[in-house]
Structure 1
Amino acid sequence: IGHTLGSSHGGSRITRYANPDFDDARVIPATYELWRTLEAETGETLLKLTGGLFLGPADEEFMVESIKALEANGYSYQPLDRAALAASFPQFNPPVGWTGFYQAESGILAASNCVAAMARQAVAHGATLREECKVTSVTPADGGVTLTLADGEEIGAAQVIITAGPWAPHFLRDLVAWPVPLQVTRQQVAYFAVEDPARYSAERCPIYIFTAEPHCYGFPIWEKPGHIKVALEMLDSTTDPDQPRVVDQENVTALSAVIREHFRGVHPTPVQIDTCLYTETANRNFVIDRHPEHPQILLAAGFSGRGFKFTIGIGRLLADLVLSAPGTYDSHFWSPKYGLARFAV
């Protein structure tokens, strides 16, 4: 728990009401309720609302569909023309012709702290946590499941949930009769020093997403005093999760150019670069379902670099599936788009 080789480590992840998919936008308020409950139980601050700034051409798909989903769900937002952007958020210099909108219920999840808090609460409620324990196979057996570990130990279970992140394809290849196309990509984030920390503080600077080229996203000062964290996604950089993590210098150069052109008062040379992985589906919709032939095995994968904001809701969804009869999907967090059958040939 807390390793840095997957997709769930680090001090910050964006969460937001603004999503181009209606169902994704619909469930976010319920995740906030669950995060606040976890905060009350643990005494930790896990969710910080900063507001969110979304920048792009007015007719860009993310902008158009996110506004539709906000309105359909009854969420408020504030449209911003070029003059309003300059007046309210002078930190940014978006491309000519862009507009934006501000949505207050957006912010930061303290990712590593969230994972640690959930793990501690699981143990407090009776779970046994076994770390550094490699599972080599998951086998249906007599209506249950047998897990085989690297040292030869076998563990029997009535049901199993597989959430293996970038290693999920290894298990899916052996378990599912048809291909489940998951692509693991290398990603990195960079930290840049700012000239005026007050301007980029979480009280004055929201999380921000450039929804069109250059497609960057980032945070106010949060993890590293005096520095903002910004990233350019690399969706074509496929990799093997067991290979060493190597910094992509072309991405660093491109990101520095974005900082130089579109951010005010930020030094364009990063002082720190961190790496992580995405596990993506073609349309970036998650895979969450029971095994089609062995419903005692549940699968959750393909969170496509946008799953952390839903994490606590996905946990509730998986618990709901475990506790309900096969074939039923009676959970607030379920969406048919998650189904495994969509890949059947």
Structure 2
Amino acid sequence: MGMSAGYHLARRGVKTLLIDAFDPPHTEGSHHGETRLIRHAYSGDPTYIDMALRAQVLWKEAEEESGTALLVPSGVLNLADSNVYSFAGRLAEAEKRKVRVEQMDADEICRRWPALNLPEHFEAMFEPDAGYLYSEKCIAAYRKLALVHGAQLLTNTSVLNVTAREDSVTVHTRSGDYYGAAAILSAGAWFGSLSAFAALPIHAIRKVVGWFQSTPAFDAGNFPGFTLGTREGSYYGFPGIGGAGLKIGRHDTGREWKPGETLAPFGSEESDEKDLRQVLETYMPGAAGRLLKGAVCKYEHTPDEDFIIDRHPAHDNVLLAGGFSGHGFKFSSVVGEILADLATGGASTVNIKPFSLSRFDSSPVQPQSGLPLEGIE
């Protein structure tokens, strides 16, 4: 989100400094692992659909400007056990917003993708205009474009604290202090390290993904990106790209992680491979070959799994953007645009009221129950 905002600001001629504790793209946040889904059919507040459609436009613009392929229109196949999840809300909103979707029963799903092994009570919602993004290439493209437009980037520079006045913000780092009229904080899973200045209800958890040897039926071009909601849990994944094998991750569950703690590598817990393999053996047996690679990343999310995009409660010239993991990466192109609008003009044309920080003030937010397929990738 920060790299995207830096690009949008620099493109407008705003003097922009980007500060990162590492050297993006990197493996210390929530953006690595090669791919992220981009889909459009959400239920609930229509802001998500509006943002997803705008995000896709902006990704295509970034592709053209950078000369880098970022988005693959593979389609996204959303699969679910109808006893535990219904697509009714998303189908209804998709019809209202003119998002192309196809509803299928198990027979139709297995006719089109015969390598799947689904019980008859499964159903699907297929989004033919959706697909996946090359997440690290997206970060690299925005970095390149931001610098081309005049932004400056400080890498390997940890932020120790932030202080603000009415007309200025100071960012304190190990290499010195930096000053600006306004600031955007998008620290992801590392927001806990800034809690003295911005105490947000954002929690980070350890997540794993694995790449498994798979048959050609699951290769890119033959199989789409997917989500999978079952009694066993909530999963997402991608076809095999360039011989890398099918990639799959679990959306629910995970062990809490805090800034400064060591992130245990893939395989440290028996469930790392076991959970992924079991669901593949049950529903995608042709993709349950040997583990080719495993990776660990961090989810950072709010209690209700909706984003935070708001001004600091005490400082109007500081913007806070966080809680994006699980389904946020696809939106980073448009979130950067929103943040640039707020930083320079004071308002955004996008309805960001659902992402207000004040929603956590009135009453405790209950975690989402059941299979959280709305917030998956």
**How many Å separate the matches in 1 of 2:337 and 2:112?**
38
Q: Which residue of 2 aligns with 1:277?
A: 298
Q: Which residue of 1 aligns with 2:196?
A: 174
1:317 corresponds to 2:338:
yes
Q: CA separation of 1:276/1:266 partners in 2, compared to 1, >3 Å: closer, same or farther?
A: same
**How many Å separate the matches in 1 of 2:85 and 2:320?**
30
Q: 1:208 offset after TM fit, Å?
A: 0.9
Query: Which range moved further: 282-291 or 264-273?
Result: 264-273
Q: Which residue of 1 aligns with 2:41?
A: 18
**How many Å separate the matches in 2 of 1:276 and 1:30?**
27
Q: Which residue of 2 aligns with 1:185?
A: 205
1:162 corresponds to 2:180:
no
Q: 1:145 offset after TM fit, Å?
A: 0.6
Q: 1:43 offset after TM fit, Å?
A: 0.8
**How many Å separate the matches in 1 of 2:236 and 2:164?**
42
**How many Å separate the matches in 2 of 1:156 and 1:308?**
28
User: Once the two structures are superposed, what CA deviation does each residue of 1:142-184 show, in whole Å capped at 9, x if it has no partner?
Assistant: 5211111113x1111100100111111332x2224xx532111
1:245 corresponds to 2:268:
no
**How many Å separate the matches in 2 of 1:211 and 1:241?**
30
Q: Which residue of 1 aligns with 2:31?
A: 8
Instruction: Give the one of 232, 235, 239 matched to 2:250.
Output: 232
Q: Which residue of 1 aligns with 2:222?
A: 204
Counterpart amino acid of residue 344 in structure 1: D
**How many Å separate the matches in 1 of 2:86 and 2:314?**
37
Query: Which range moved further: 42-51 or 15-24?
Result: 15-24
User: Once the two structures are superposed, what CA deviation does each residue of 1:116-146 show, in whole Å capped at 9, x if it has no partner?
Assistant: 0001100100100110011101101352111
**How many Å separate the matches in 2 of 1:80 and 1:303?**
30
Counterpart amino acid of residue 218 in structure 2: Y
Q: Which residue of 2 aligns with 1:138?
A: 162
Q: Which residue of 2 aligns with 1:344?
A: 361
1:124 corresponds to 2:148:
yes
Q: Which residue of 2 aligns with 1:109?
A: 133
**How many Å separate the matches in 1 of 2:289 and 2:262?**
26
Q: 1:59 offset after TM fit, Å?
A: 6.4
Counterpart amino acid of residue 190 in structure 1: G
Instruction: Give the one of 98, 120, 125 matched to 1:74.
Output: 98
**How many Å separate the matches in 2 of 1:319 and 1:278?**
24
Q: 1:317 offset after TM fit, Å?
A: 0.4
Q: 1:241 offset after TM fit, Å?
A: 3.5
Q: CA separation of 1:236/1:273 partners in 2, compared to 1, >3 Å: closer, same or farther?
A: closer
| Matched residue SS, 1:74 | coil
User: Once the two structures are superposed, what CA deviation does each residue of 1:13-45 show, in whole Å capped at 9, x if it has no partner?
Assistant: 011012234221222121111111111111110
CA contact (8 A) 1:186 1:234 kept: no
Q: 1:226 offset after TM fit, Å?
A: 5.1
Query: Which range moved further: 287-296 or 209-218?
Result: 209-218
TM-score after normalising by structure 1: 0.92
| Matched residue SS, 2:285 | coil
Q: 1:62 offset after TM fit, Å?
A: 5.7
Counterpart amino acid of residue 239 in structure 2: P
**How many Å separate the matches in 1 of 2:43 and 2:290?**
32
1:301 corresponds to 2:301:
no
Q: 1:8 offset after TM fit, Å?
A: 1.0
Q: Which residue of 2 aligns with 1:215?
A: 234
Q: Which residue of 1 aligns with 2:111?
A: 87
CA contact (8 A) 1:148 1:154 kept: yes
CA contact (8 A) 2:213 2:246 kept: yes
Q: 1:245 offset after TM fit, Å?
A: 2.4
- Percentage identity across aligned positions? 27
| Matched residue SS, 2:38 | strand
TM-score after normalising by structure 2: 0.84
CA contact (8 A) 1:163 1:300 kept: yes
> What residue ranges of structure 2 are gaps of 5+ in the alignment?
1-23, 363-377
Counterpart amino acid of residue 220 in structure 1: P
**How many Å separate the matches in 1 of 2:244 and 2:319?**
43
Counterpart amino acid of residue 336 in structure 1: K
User: Once the two structures are superposed, what CA deviation does each residue of 1:247-277 show, in whole Å capped at 9, x if it has no partner?
Assistant: 2321311211111111032234312101100
| Matched residue SS, 2:286 | coil
Q: CA separation of 1:118/1:310 partners in 2, compared to 1, >3 Å: closer, same or farther?
A: same
1:261 corresponds to 2:282:
yes
| Matched residue SS, 1:50 | coil
| Matched residue SS, 2:230 | coil
> What residue ranges of structure 1 are gaps of 5+ in the alignment?
none
**How many Å separate the matches in 1 of 2:48 and 2:304?**
14
